[in-house]
Amino acid sequence: MNLISKVAFATIFTAGLVGQTMAAECIAPANPGGGWDFTCRSITKIMSDIDAYDGSIQVTNMAGGGGGLAFTHVVNERNSDDDLIIAASTATATRLAQNAYSGMTSDQVRFLGAIGADPGVIVVAKDSPYQNLNDLLDAVIADPSKHAFAGGSAAGGFDHLKVLMALKRKGFTDIKKVKYIGVDGDADAITQTVGGFTAAMTGDISGVVGFIKSGDVRVLASFTDERIPGFESIPTAKEQGIDVVAVNWRGLYTPKGASEASYEKWTEALRQVGASQEWADAMMANGLAPFNKVGPDFQNYVDGVIAEVREMSVELGVMK
């Protein structure tokens, strides 16, 4: 019995191609119901529905090691498989940067693209004295000991790192001095900030929508290229002179040894999904914003994020 038989739960979506016996496959490196599962199931279904992919695509759940089991399986056993795609996200890049996949590296696969994301945000309580992102960052730089951030990831996780990216863009390099409290999810982080225990919360827009609507918080900035649809009153960090794009993107990678023809086939199919009304509807229903980077443009983006995360992780002592 092979590795997939032992660990995987599979559901098959059929595109209606008569006579095809072998289905392509999308591996979701987690159990059914999570973000990677959503990525595989939603994207492959739309690929079939809009005829972006001419065939059937099987979705396989392969949980383990925060995505590491699937990554190792692809590298060691499926490296030349033209008919395989794998769901990925910002967590994939962060864990690769921090060597969380036991010696596996990002250059052992090929990133296809991302077509949606949960945008990163910096949030303060409604009565906070800080009116914009620079107000907050300048106060932290002036006296890091008096300001703390709360986030839903552990110290050294992406919620923590996006704050440090913003501070580094302003020339602040002593990032170990920045106080960060890692809690269990965005809601707990908001509670810390609204309660006055931290100066700000760092998280994703999907986790703070209810607090925005209730008026308990103000969002100082989104870490996106453009303002978030439906939240156009929130300025981007870029607009405020802080050139940081930090989002929880939803995308795919493919085996490094797969053919160039298959890479082009999958990237084109992903582009078509990203441009479709069906995907726009799926994003709106699941709290995602547009984030379209497909092909070499996306590979370059991921490489840059991994390099920055690795550098900061070493500075923080998260890794050697």
CATH topology match: 3-117+248-316 vs 119-240: yes
Residue 317 pLDDT: 87
Do 258 and 75 contact (CB within 8 A), yes or no?
Answer: no
pTM of the model: 0.82
Do 99 and 40 contact (CB within 8 A), yes or no?
Answer: no
Residue 187 pLDDT: 86
- Position 30 pLDDT exceeds 60: yes
pLDDT in tens, 188-243: 999 999 999 999 999 999 888 889 999 999 999 999 998 998 899 999 999 999 99
CA distances from 242 to 32, 72, 167, 245 (A): 37, 36, 9, 9
Mean pLDDT over 31-50 rounds to 93
Mean pLDDT over 12-16 rounds to 36
Residue 286 pLDDT: 84
Beta strands in the chain (DSSP E): 9-13, 24-28, 57-61, 84-89, 109-125, 148-151, 179-182, 200-204, 217-222, 247-255, 293-294
Please count the residues of the chain.
Answer: 320
Q: How far apart are CA 247 and CA 90, in angstroms?
A: 7
Q: How far apart are CA 132 and CA 107, in angstroms?
A: 38
Task: Tell me the pLDDT band of 181, cut-offs 50, 70 and 90.
Answer: very high
Among 246, 298, 289, smallest CA distance to 267 is for 298
Q: Please, what is the average pLDDT of the chain?
A: 90
Query: At residue 125, what is the residue type?
Result: A
Residue 256 pLDDT: 97
The CATH fold of domain 3-117+248-316: D-Maltodextrin-Binding Protein; domain 2 (3.40.190)
Is 119-240 a domain of CATH 1.20.120.1730? no
Residue 16 pLDDT: 36
CB half-sphere exposure, 145, CA atoms < 13 A: 0
**Share of residues in the chain with pLDDT > 70 (%):** 93
Residue 37 pLDDT: 93
Residue 34 pLDDT: 81
Q: How far apart are CA 258 and CA 110, in angstroms?
A: 9
Residue 240 pLDDT: 98
Mean pLDDT over 83-107 rounds to 94
Domain map of the chain by residue range? 3-117+248-316, 119-240
pLDDT in tens, 101-147: 988 999 999 999 999 999 999 999 999 999 999 999 999 999 999 99
pLDDT in tens, 216-229: 999 999 999 989 98
Task: Tell me the pLDDT band of 262, cut-offs 50, 70 and 90.
Answer: very high
Residue 21 pLDDT: 44
Query: Looking up tokens 């070499």, which residue turns up?
Result: 296
Q: How far apart are CA 10 and CA 20, in angstroms?
A: 18
CB atoms within 10 A of CB 233: 10
pLDDT in tens, 265-310: 999 999 999 999 999 999 988 878 889 999 998 999 999 999 999 9
